[in-house]
Structure 1
Amino acid sequence: MHTIDLLGLLLYFAILLYIGYRSAKKTSSSADFAVAGNKIIWPVLFATLAASFLGGGASMGRAGKAFDEGYAFMFAASAFPIATILAGLFIAPRLKRYSGAQTVGDIMAHHYGRSARLLTGVFSLIFCIGILGAQALAIGTVFNAIMGIEISTGILIGMAVVLIYSTAGGMWAVIQTDVVQFVMLAVFLPITMIVGLDKIGGPEALIAALPSEHFSIMGDYSPLMFASIFIAFLLGETLVPPYTQRALSAPDSRHAKIGYSLAGGFGLLFYAISSTIGLIALVLYPQIAPDQAMPELIRDALPLGLTGLVLASLLAVVMSTADSYLNSAAVIFVADIYKPFINPAMSGKQQLWIERGVNLAIGLGAVIFALYATSIIDALLLSYALWAPTILLPFVFAVMFKIRCKRAGVAAMLAGALTTSVWKWSGLELEALTGLTPLIAGVAANIVVFVLVYRLMNVAPEQNGDTPISHSTHS
């Protein structure tokens, strides 16, 4: 990498650290650390959400899949931005009914009790660390492809920066850095696609250079495989803790609705850009590994001076997701596990410092996870299996229909977790025998058990409108 490009990258890191330093002065309470004081208006909410979920999977992972399989994976994975739009329209506004809520566990505890809070905290924590590990792996991949640095070293460098600013400034720092990172990815990744298209002779040349299957909706996928991927992305990351925290950070339901919905729409556009970059890389560098598609195009095709800025934007994409999951994991551990079950008498100041300490510890755990993950997308799909079959559907039922039934919520979460684990790790090859993935089998068990137990308990939905949450009374 040229010195000019390296200086651009170092400047980007310096900006992130400065934001963390400034944000630390504004973070004086746990509410500041967790939900930025509930002051995030919709344009900022849109930018931080878009930056958060367009991480290593949506950028390098999507480009790598397009490199390998064409646009088919993009069409299947578009289920996630579609789910985000729907969540923005129908669920995000309702989350603002829960005055004082900071986590998914707060809402689950209100509807399903203390045991549901604990289970939600444990499953959410494992999920967040898994996604964070995938982003850490993506950071190392970028450094390796662009600068020739060992992936493990790149992970340590990138995650060190994330750890510093997110630990110091909490959600204030995460959101402010996300806005910077969103602007960078929204400008520079489309530039990368345009430069790459020009290098191969334009869109017509791209179409002519590749088999027609690379541009079809299903490609080489069977209908069952396409449906499995679609469902995995429809449910796997919908309303996960960092995104729910963003909605809870909004001042009211209107800001939550607009910001969340717009972020989903932007995701559809971004998926098309990152997948097209993967196809361009396939034409130019057919011998490289799929996950190297986007970094290789940035390193080779862009002119001097722009490479460092686009590298920074690519790191921005990944780091913006990493910081979101890191912050969320720390808040979950303290709010849903440590405070209600270990030290309920701790003060607000103690809670803030414990959240900062846990933030550091979880970041180190994610780095270890990243060193063992074999693929960015594989790491994401493994983590998805921990969310949808356990928490998502009881959470949606609670928010949409105001259901309050402790036994139904807890039983459904346990049934989903058990079924998913048996399907994936029992060695019985149940996926091959039934055609159902662990995620789909777990979701099915979750729904069936929830409905059966709820009907047996014959519980009516709650009738009240606003749902205030107190961390002292509901924990």
Structure 2
Amino acid sequence: MHALYVMGYIVLMLLIGLYFSRRKVHDDSDFIVAGRSLSTMVLTATLLATFVGSGSIVGGASFVFQYGPGAAIFFFAGIPVAALVIYFLLASKMRRSEATTIPGLIEARFGPTARTLASLIILLAYVGIVSYQFTGAGQALNLAFGLPVWQGVLISAAVMIGLATMGGLVSVAYTDYLSAVIILVSMLMAVPLVLTPLGGLDGLYNALPEVQQSLLGGLSPWQAMGYFLPLFLLILGDQNLFQRFAAARDPATARKAAMGLVIASIACTSLIVLLVCATRVLYPDITPSTSMMTLAQQGLPTVVGGFLLASIVALLLTTGNSYLLSASASLTQDILGGLFKIRIAPHRALLANRLTVVGLGILAWVLGAFFPSVLAMQMYSYGMYGAAITPVFLAALLWPRATPAGAVAAMVVGGLVTLVWEIVLGKPMGWNSVLVAMPLATLTMIFISLMKHPAHLAGATTTGNNG
């Protein structure tokens, strides 16, 4: 029965994508930034759905299952804290920018070399993020239909690529809106149904393993910070978020949506923590990454569980769409157009974006074979982005004294340290790479920028910021 809900929702998403591909997507501007037409409610919902995808439903659920509700605060706090920073400092600046990608904005401040390097790093990180959306959705289809996980991954990849190819950001935004509403409603209905038999919040807390009743759940303070920073830094400078603010009707709409994300993310992640902790008590021997999906299928009445499972699958699919679209924009605009100077005729730009979505989707599917778990790939991808891109992006918006040499050096240091720490050294002391890579990248940019800061740069940066 649950499978019918999932199948129905997937069909509905495909129909929405087909509708918008025919009615609303006429050029690459519609495809990439939805014609700059999104309202506050739709923008808030698509932001929530993008950042509460596999990262929260699968990777975050796995974390909560293993470490408990106290440690979950550190994992999930990155979303609302980053959204608050964006609300006060960045949202209006992002919307006023004429750029449609983060590398495009970086080039306005730091030149074409910085743009090329940023594009390559974003591709490396985003293809990894898309890959674990495939894996998470494959696990969900395995539970819903009894398919082997590898078949579920293939089907999920095909659906994500198809949706992103058809309607671009327009279809993704409106399917996100529907998914966000359904998952919030279904989780609100599910919480009392699972808490009541366990004796409420007190009963749930007392039933958890003793180590999970502590604030850090057995993690060291540095390990806890290592889980907070990747998501915080990713969202703070995420190209998906930048593109969505670029798609807002005006700067005021972008700023309201940032505050909407603060409120909605706190509500949504709190519900996820409660439901996963209940699953930990009810089904202690399951695979941690499947906890939300197991609860939907086995621990709830059919209607509530069916809607919850369908919306979980939908969130996984639409998050994958978002990162595919963003990676495609970087590939066509920043690498093909910026690095290789390939000029795509306006009437062919939409086709080029769609073809790159397909190619990057296939690459993400292949990459999934190299990481042992969703959580491992999540921390790698977030860490790569947060260390190598976010400091430079923030400097482009907020620090006039940053120089091109400092920006390029920061991206090189951030990217290389992430790769060495994660792959070559195997995460010494259990620390995620961002704890080391981000400070080193930031200090490198500050040191090199302050060593040599040409007098004419002040005028150039003012122009870049106003652009």
Quote the residue 1:241 is aligned against: 239
Shift of 1:356: 0.2
Three-state SS of the structure 2 residue aligned to 1:27 is: coil
Shift of 1:410: 1.0
Quote the residue 2:7 is aligned against: 10
Quote the residue 1:107 is aligned against: 105
Aligned mates of 1:339, 1:177 — CA distance in 2: 30
Quote the residue 1:366 is aligned against: 364
Quote the residue 1:286 is aligned against: 284
Write the letter of the residue equivalent to 2:17: G
TM-score scaled by structure 2? Answer: 0.93
C-alpha change, 1:446 and 1:334, in structure 2 (3 Å) is same
Quote the residue 1:446 is aligned against: 441
Aligned mates of 2:60, 2:433 — CA distance in 1: 22
Aligned mates of 2:50, 2:431 — CA distance in 1: 30
8 A contact 1:38–1:250 mirrored in 2: yes
Shift of 1:426: 3.8
Shift of 1:48: 0.5
8 A contact 1:129–1:326 mirrored in 2: yes
Write the letter of the residue equivalent to 1:55: G
Shift of 1:87: 1.6
- 1:148-297 equivalences under 5 Å are 148-297=146-295
1:202-226 residue CA offsets vs partner (Å, 9 max, x unmatched): 3232123224542432221222222
Using the TM superposition, name which of 399-408 and 237-246 deviates more: 399-408
Quote the residue 1:473 is aligned against: none
Q: In structure 1, list runs of 5 or more residues that go unmatched.
A: 470-475
Using the TM superposition, name which of 403-412 and 246-255 deviates more: 403-412
Aligned mates of 2:204, 2:236 — CA distance in 1: 33
8 A contact 1:51–1:179 mirrored in 2: yes
Shift of 1:468: 6.6
Aligned mates of 2:207, 2:229 — CA distance in 1: 31
C-alpha change, 1:374 and 1:192, in structure 2 (3 Å) is farther
C-alpha change, 1:166 and 1:425, in structure 2 (3 Å) is closer
Matched, 1:83 2:78: no
C-alpha change, 1:383 and 1:410, in structure 2 (3 Å) is same
8 A contact 2:143–2:294 mirrored in 1: yes
Matched, 1:310 2:308: yes
Shift of 1:52: 0.6
- 1:18-167 equivalences under 5 Å are 18-25=15-22, 26-81=24-79, 82-99=81-98, 101-167=99-165
Aligned mates of 1:420, 1:73 — CA distance in 2: 23
Aligned mates of 1:209, 1:400 — CA distance in 2: 47
C-alpha change, 1:139 and 1:93, in structure 2 (3 Å) is same
Write the letter of the residue equivalent to 1:19: I
Shift of 1:436: 6.2
Write the letter of the residue equivalent to 2:18: Y
Aligned mates of 1:175, 1:269 — CA distance in 2: 20
8 A contact 2:371–2:377 mirrored in 1: yes
8 A contact 1:137–1:371 mirrored in 2: no
Write the letter of the residue equivalent to 2:438: V
The total of aligned residue pairs comes to: 462
Write the letter of the residue equivalent to 1:11: G
Q: Which runs of 4+ in 1 moved over 6 A?
A: none
Write the letter of the residue equivalent to 1:86: V
Aligned mates of 1:257, 1:465 — CA distance in 2: 23
Aligned mates of 1:342, 1:437 — CA distance in 2: 34
Aligned mates of 1:78, 1:152 — CA distance in 2: 29
Q: In structure 2, list runs of 5 or more residues that go unmatched.
A: none
Aligned mates of 2:340, 2:223 — CA distance in 1: 44
Quote the residue 1:472 is aligned against: none
Write the letter of the residue equivalent to 2:450: R
Shift of 1:138: 0.6
TM-score scaled by structure 1? Answer: 0.92
**Partner of residue 327 from structure 2, selected from 318, 326, 329:** 329
Write the letter of the residue equivalent to 2:21: A
Quote the residue 1:424 is aligned against: 422
Three-state SS of the structure 2 residue aligned to 1:386 is: helix
8 A contact 1:33–1:172 mirrored in 2: yes
Aligned mates of 1:404, 1:353 — CA distance in 2: 37
Q: As a proportion of its length, which structure holds more helix?
A: 2
8 A contact 1:146–1:296 mirrored in 2: no
8 A contact 1:237–1:384 mirrored in 2: no
Three-state SS of the structure 2 residue aligned to 1:217 is: coil
Write the letter of the residue equivalent to 1:22: Y
Shift of 1:466: 7.7
8 A contact 1:132–1:326 mirrored in 2: yes
8 A contact 1:389–1:416 mirrored in 2: yes
1:296-354 residue CA offsets vs partner (Å, 9 max, x unmatched): 11111222334332211111221221111011111110011012233443211222111
